[in-house]
Amino acid sequence: MTKIFAPALVAGLLLSGVVSTAIAQEKIPTAWNPATSAGLQKLLDDAVQKTFAQFPELKKDELASTLIELRDPKKPVQASYRGDALIYPASVIKLFYLAAAHRWMEDKKIADTAELRKNMREMIVDSSNVATHYIIDDITGTTSGPELSENEIKVWWEKRNAVTQYFTTLGYTNINASKKPWDEVPTEGREVQAVKLFEPKRNWLNTDSTARLMSEIVTGQAVTPDRCKQMMELLHRDPFDQAHPNSQAKDFTGLAVTPGTKLWSKAGWTTETRHDCAYLELTNGAHFVLVTFTVNHANEHQIIPTLARVAIAGMEK
């Protein structure tokens, strides 16, 4: 996590439009230590309060958000509202599995195959749970299946925790990335066996850690700059492309963006949660990460874009 952009990689990133000129021209910080700003915190607080005002049924503990300004990539500036709250992340967890897969490939722990690449794309672009199962099996060396013996399930669980352990070594806190996302929750076998035997029983993220990972991908710190470029290609969304509708582009933060804005994101939704992790580049040169998690309002599509509109308006000034 201490890499900087090499000149050849910078050129490739700029040509692809993956990162802005401002970011690419700067060296990347060697450790994650974002500054705070009263102005940025006020902006996020205003966005949160205006969201509560528009949605009076939204409770204070049903929303969390983190805003990170990346105008100077050496000095990220962060503001949070309940940024350390543990929340079930839905498909936003796939961002962590994506970064882990690239780390494992870089370290030659898993093979870079066409099948792996296909499933990574489907995991991030289509948010496929089946594709995510393939990625988790590959990077942890575990599979779903019948129950295991007491000793076997302990070994299985230790392996399944590999992604959480990896991010913990990097200083990430209050996260758990050890579970498969399911269209239909399993009712038997080792997945259920592990839930009964071990804690935590669900995946957990918080908006601070999620915003950190997206920021490190954007600024080339996650694994290597070239691998960050590859991740950004999968995360890119076009809210204005009518020929190729994508709910992640058009139904979350994408609802708030104005023409000319560039968007990269990973959304997540269940019957209980609705989340988005977005990176935006505005036409005035501002670029920032905005992560918003909501609980118990999965059918309300306007909470996330309402908060985002206030944040974007503030960053446009």
Q: What's the angle, vertex CA 150, arms to CA 144 and CA 154, rounded to 5?
A: 65
Work out the burial of residue 300: count CB atoms within 10 Å of its CB; fewer than 13 is exposed, 13-18 middle, 19 or more buried. Answer: middle
CB atoms closer than 10 angstroms to residue 201: 13
The two tokens of residue 147 are: 């129950």
Beta bridge partners of 205: 87
Grouped pLDDT means (10 residues each) for the chain, 317 residues:
31 36 39 93 98 98 98 93 98 98 98 98 97 98 98 98 97 96 92 96 98 97 97 96 82 95 97 98 97 97 98 96
Look up the pTM and report it: 0.90
The C-alpha atoms of residue 179 and residue 212 are separated, in whole angstroms, by 21
The C-alpha atoms of residue 160 and residue 171 are separated, in whole angstroms, by 19
List alpha helices for 30-149, DSSP H.
38-54, 94-106, 114-125, 129-140
The two tokens of residue 155 are: 């070994």
Q: What is the pLDDT of residues 298-316, one digit of tens each?
A: 999 999 999 999 999 999 9
Q: What is the pLDDT of residues 187-233, one digit of tens each?
A: 999 999 999 999 999 999 999 999 999 999 999 999 999 999 999 99
Architecture, CATH, for domain 1-84+231-317: 2-Layer Sandwich (3.30)
**Which has the closest alpha carbon to 219: 31, 16, 29, 91?**
29
pLDDT of the residue at 42: 98
pLDDT of the residue at 225: 97
The C-alpha atoms of residue 139 and residue 245 are separated, in whole angstroms, by 31
- Any idea where the domains of the chain sit in the sequence? 1-84+231-317, 88-205
